[in-house]
Amino acid sequence: MSLDFGLLQIQGIDAIKFLQGQVTCDVAQTSPTQGTYGAHCNPKGRILFSFYLYRRADDCLWLQIPSMMLEQAQKDLAKYSVFSKVAISIVDKPIQLIHSPVQLPHSVFQDDGGIIRQRTHEYYEVIGHPAPINQVATFSTATDHWSLLDIQQGIAHIHPETRDMFTPEEINYTLIDAVSFRKGCYTGQEIIARMHYKGKHKRHAHRFVLDSAEIPTLGSNVISNISNQKIGEIISIAKSNNPNQFECLASIQDDARNHAMISTHQTMQPTDLPYAIPQTEVQ
């Protein structure tokens, strides 16, 4: 599935205070050079939308959100903003993933208002038209490659098909510092914290390779090749660099990682993530 993003802006003197009470990450700990992943949840602790947060200033925050979720995310936050001095709007700026053969400056904000965020040694996310990318030969990449990069880095995103389906822990947001258990209350916090401290979560996002000529749909069931019972769902999927192969993230029961399949004709081969899932929970 191709992946593209848009920007939601929260602006006003209450921007940090307002968002701090709505999302899983610690907004107060961000800075113009340090962003974070995060999620906005319903009162039951299930994710309504996911994002990457840029702190432009104390009174201006940008949320980078999958484009298909942008308008819904604006509506979700607007419901809680009535008593806060903030304005929530969609920002019209191009966002792209570029490949650069030379090192680019990767402090988040540039003087001209653009953003450069390094993702790997040679790949950068770029918002707007910051001056440094005009000074070297850079190449925009296909959105399919962006999807694949995020899967390989273990970064999950919520789409319309998976809205209200997962808790933050079930897509590994607790493992990429997208959830703070110290910052205090936010929507869904009580349930998320209770499940975390009781150790009730026995499922996470796992990375798989699929041999298939047909792409599975987001949110589709993953089943066990032993019991033939449902063990989870597809979070995200992208074409692999190999023909007739896909890579995906699937939120599944940890003890069923080695027995996952989409159907009787589509087995799933587990492969590594760049970070560790608690070994006591994976078999």
pLDDT of residue 281: 42
pLDDT of residue 230: 94
Q: Are 86 and 112 spatial neighbours (Cβ–Cβ below 8 Å)?
A: no
64 and 130 co-located in one domain: no
Q: Is residue 283 part of a domain?
A: no
pLDDT band at 180 (very low <50, low <70, confident <90, very high): very high
105 and 67 co-located in one domain: no
Tell me which of 108, 124, 147 is where a domain ends. Answer: 147
Q: Is residue 77 part of a domain?
A: yes
| Count of domains for the chain | 3
Q: Which residue has the tokens 């047909």?
A: 214
Q: Is residue 50 part of a domain?
A: yes
CATH number at residue 58: 3.30.1360.120
68 and 161 co-located in one domain: yes
Mean pLDDT for the stretch of residues 69-94: 96
Mean pLDDT for the stretch of residues 83-112: 81
- pLDDT of 23 higher than 70: yes
- Average per-residue pLDDT for the chain: 89
Q: pLDDT over 90 for what percent of the chain?
A: 65
Mean pLDDT for the stretch of residues 132-149: 72
38 and 79 co-located in one domain: yes
Q: Is residue 81 part of a domain?
A: yes
Q: Is residue 270 part of a domain?
A: yes
pLDDT of residue 118: 86
pLDDT band at 279 (very low <50, low <70, confident <90, very high): low
113 and 65 co-located in one domain: no
DSSP readout, the chain?
----EEEEEEESTTHHHHHHTTBSS-GGG-BTTB-EEEEEE-TTS-EEEEEEEEEEETTEEEEEEEGGGHHHHHHHHHTT-TTSS-EEEEE---EEEEE-SSPPP--SB-TTS-EEEE-SSSEEEEES--GGGGSS--EE--HHHHHHHHHHTT-----GGGTTT--GGGGTTTTTT---SSS---TTHHHHHHHHHTT---EEEEEEEEE-SSPPPTT-EEEETTT--EEEEEEEEEE-SSTTEEEEEEEEEGGGGGGEEEETTEEEEEE--SS---GGG--
| pTM of structure | 0.91
217 and 264 co-located in one domain: yes
191 and 239 co-located in one domain: no
Mean pLDDT for the stretch of residues 211-217: 80
CATH number at residue 218: 2.40.30.110
pLDDT of residue 280: 46
87 and 132 co-located in one domain: no
pLDDT of residue 140: 65
156 and 29 co-located in one domain: yes
Q: 38-49, pLDDT tens digit by residue?
A: 999 999 999 999
Closest CA to 22 of 57, 61, 56: 61
- pLDDT of 97 higher than 90: no
Tell me which of 107, 129, 147 is where a domain ends. Answer: 147
Domain encompassing residue 68: 5-92+152-195
